[in-house]
Structure 1
Amino acid sequence: MENIKTAAPDLDSKIIVQKTVYSILFSVAIAHMLNDLLQAVIPAVYPILKDKYDLTFTQIGLITFAYQLAASILQPFVGFYTDKKPQPYSKIFGMLFTLAGIVMLSYASGFAMLLVSVVLVGIGSSIFHPEASRVSYLASGGKRGLAQSIFQIGGNMGTAIGPLLIAWIVVPNDQHYIIWFGIIALLAIGVLWRIGNWYRDHLTLNAGNKKVIVLPDLSQRRIVMSVIILLVLIFSKYFYIASITSYFTFYLIDKFHLSVQDAQYHLFIFLLALAIGTLLGGPLGDKFGRKYVIWFSVLGVAPFALLLPYADLFWTTILSIIIGTLLASAFPAILVYAQELLPKKLGMVSGLFYGFAFGMGGLGAALLGYLAEKEGINYVYDICAYLPLIGIIAVFLPNLKKKEAPKA
């Protein structure tokens, strides 16, 4: 933690704002990794739960929808509240919800209990993300794209590791072995306590400071239209990602006759590619401009997505790596771009975009599950291949120029 000199609080607060606090950035990334690893348990155990409880694809889609709805609908409200009343330790409270959901998931005996358990995990996620993203922003020292990428790669690494641990721990044994993931939740609480201490000290140091907030030199109408464009891009990105995270294992099993474990390894490769893309997206946005990274990363996926349904196993793996890397580079750039559009509402913006991303992922999973049930799993990928073409609308995003607002 940064040393605090009581004799010169104004100087210390200035330093803590201007300096990139890497220890906190990496702590938040680790917390994000542990949080999203626990979330990744849910889709990773779908093949096990499907066989054990004879679930349909529609029911699997509804499970994802219930989780994602709980993870999305609360986030803007959490962010709006904490914009006005920051809560340094709220993330711990969220992790307790996640822990309760993981314990219930390990002992769920039917569809209804599965729904309740994933809703608890979703509530935990909705409390975690807005404030964790704000801490990342505050610790960035102005390197916002880099900070967001560090934060995001933690989440992507957790999402990638989750299915791998499920393949090693749960698949060879039983659903009840999910309870071992509760240890990860307890570890996350320890990390979040340290972050909460730093955030509390940061708020104390800056309590009396007058801040200069940099606003975009855009009309209110242009800002609103830009936010709408960004949300449409989120829709395209997360609908497509839902087709992979929820159904890629079933697609590989059905098309290439892989075992559950082998299919999980291929899902891990895709999720690892997401992590790599996330790491690249923020710094590239800092260097070349977020608009161009957003445009390239969403629209650039299109040719590879269109080829995927026609590829053999080897090329399916290669294409999934390219798709994952390109798609993931978009989100850090999108989120920081949105934060720069509305810099006075960091929590609400973070909550809105994380919430919308989760919501679109959940809605996508539910609709695609129904589609897979009616038309077959291969048809899902034929249809989803066209979603990245929506990325062309990024051309209408303005290049951000900034002006200083009056001191508040």
Structure 2
Amino acid sequence: MASPVSAASAGAPAAPQGAVMQILFSVAFVHLLNDCVQAVLPSIYPLLKHEFALSFTQVGLITLTFQCTASLLQPWIGLYTDKRPIPFLLPAGMCVTLGGVALLASATSFAMLLLAAGMIGVGSSTFHPEASRVARLASGGRFGFAQSLFQVGGNAGSALGPLLAAVIIVGHGQGRIGWFTLLVLLAILVLVGVSRWYGAHLRNAAPKFAGHAGPALPRSRVVGALVVLALLVFSKYIYMSSLSTYYTFYLIEKFHLPVGSAQIYLFLFLAAVAAGTFAGGPIGDRIGRKRVIWFSILGAAPFTLALPYANLFWTGVLSVIIGLVMSSAFSAIVVFAQELVPGKVGMIAGIFFGLMFGISGIGAAAMGSIADVWGIERVYQAASFLPLLGILAALLPRTERPGR
């Protein structure tokens, strides 16, 4: 249990612990709904590619549009709300997502697909930094646990998205996407309650968003550490984007699987990502976030290097291992960065969620171009070396308290 000092420094509300856990589970649940809806987009790429006669490059551009709109706004929203919190920004942003999903279900051109993807991205850009802040405020000082619980909700949603798409949309047509507006409406209702708690917290407490700041470090060391973290996010999410965006195409082309079977493999990979994410934060609270970051990215390299040369069975096994290992880093990276820059919880969350989305989008577009020119299998050969950048984790400073 957090001490009174750590609870205060986390900005924890003066409410029973059960009420705090209710808020944590609420934002994690909405993260599940939000990312489930977002995961529908790459899950239906084969359908959209066929119906709109898209090239792989155009498929990558849809991902790029979503990821860039989801990334560019996040740091600015986080920076602004660090100074002027806006509790009801959470349901308001989800309303934009609602419009994007409705447009995706009725789009009749490639331009409309891009607009729908952009609207879903804007909704995401308002949700992630503010919801991450709420999770930290409700953490009671267990920052890694709270961030992991929040993040695992999103990863669980990303895993469920392809499965639901296979059941609801594949074989039934684009119009079935409209059923996912019901999930967005449910998310809006839950976020109204979260926003009321958040607003009451702001009125009744003097939140200190920074939490534990770790040992004081020179500015140059902090900047250098943030650059290293950004490079690690780069290596992690370009590789993860190559899997999440093109994995179904890879399985269909190399192993001649039907679309439904390929999406089941994608579900298994994304489910492993969810499990690994949940483990990363609490383990980082116990043994140190630097060790988790080191193991998560560099430790995945042997498996990513083997994946392009595996048969179907080992492709499934290796993708699950890669998902488990690589996914454990992100919660540790976010909390590590928040400890480096105290007082900027929203901005740091926005930057790193923004980096995640932006790098994923750029990576998806680049990998799409590689696939168009050299084939989808070359995508995984080219990306397999990226986790070797995990060796840069050796350059990160220690931020844990002495004797932790």
- Decide which of 13, 16, 36 is 2:14's aligned counterpart: 16
Q: Could you tell me how far apart the structure 2 residues matched to 1:251 and 1:15 are?
A: 48
**Whole-Å separation in 2 of the counterparts to 1:171 and 1:182:** 17
Tell me the residue number matched to 1:301. Answer: 300
Partner amino acid for 1:154? G
CA contact (8 A) 1:67 1:121 kept: yes
Which residues in structure 2 correspond to 1:82-97 (within 5 Å)? 82-97=81-96
* Shift of residue 254, structure 1, vs aligned partner: 0.2
Distance 1:383 1:237, change over 3 A: same
- CA displacement 1:55-74 (0-9 Å, x = unmatched): 10000001100110000000
Identical residues among aligned pairs (%): 52
Rounded Cα–Cα distance in structure 2 between residues aligned with 1:60 and 1:76: 26
Q: Would the alpha carbon gap of residues 396 and 30 (structure 1) be closer, same or farther in structure 2, given more than 3 Å must change?
A: same
User: Shift in Å at residue 211 of structure 1?
Assistant: 9.2
In 2: Cα distance, 1:22 partner to 1:98 partner: 26
> Are 1:108 and 2:107 an aligned pair?
yes
1:109 counterpart letter in structure 2: T
Which amino acid in 2 is paired with 1:125?
S
1:165-209 Cα distance to aligned partner (Å, 9 max, x none): 000000020101000100000000011011111111111111499
Partner Cα distance (1:315, 1:366) in 2: 27
In structure 2, the partner of 1:30 is 29
Q: CA deviation at 1:118?
A: 0.3
Distance 2:82 2:288 in 1: 27
> Counterparts of 1:343 and 1:166 in 2: how far apart (Å)?
41
Aligned residues: 392
Task: Rate the CA distance shift 1:261–1:210 in 2: closer, same or farther, 3 A.
Answer: closer
Distance 1:397 1:198 in 2: 36
Preserved CA contact (<8 Å) 1:57 1:372 = yes
Corresponding residue number in structure 2 for 1:170? 169
One-letter amino acid of the structure 1 residue matched with residue 168 of structure 2: I
| Mapped pair 1:68 → 2:67 | yes
Q: Is the CA contact (8 Å cut-off) linking 1:217 and 1:401 kept in structure 2?
A: no
> Is residue 210–residue 344 contact of structure 2 (8 Å, CA) maintained in 1?
no
CA distance in 2, matches of 1:115, 1:17: 44
Aligned to 1:400: 399
Residue 394 to residue 18, structure 1, CA distance change in 2 (3 Å) = farther
**What's the CA shift string for 1:277-317, capped at 9, x where partnerless?**
00100011001100000000000000000000111110000
Unaligned runs of 5+ in 1: 1-9, 404-408
Structure 2 CA distance for partners of 1:14 and 1:248, relative to 1, 3 Å: closer
> Alpha-carbon deviation of 1:22?
1.0
Structure 2, unpaired ranges of 5+: 1-7
Normalized against structure 1, the TM-score is what? 0.93
Paired residue for 1:406? none
Change (3 A) 1:324 1:212: closer
Question: Structure 1's 14 and 262: CA in aligned 2 closer, same or farther, altered over 3 A?
Answer: closer
How has the CA–CA distance of structure 1 residues 396 and 194 changed in structure 2, closer, same or farther, with 3 Å as cutoff? Answer: same
Give the equivalent residue in structure 1 for 2:147. Answer: 148
Provide the rounded CA distance (Å) in 1 between the counterparts of 2:171 and 2:209. Answer: 58
- Kept after mapping to 2: 8 A contact 1:281/1:329: yes
Contact 2:293 2:333 in 1 (8 A): yes
Q: What is the Cα-based RMSD across aligned positions, in Å? A: 1.8
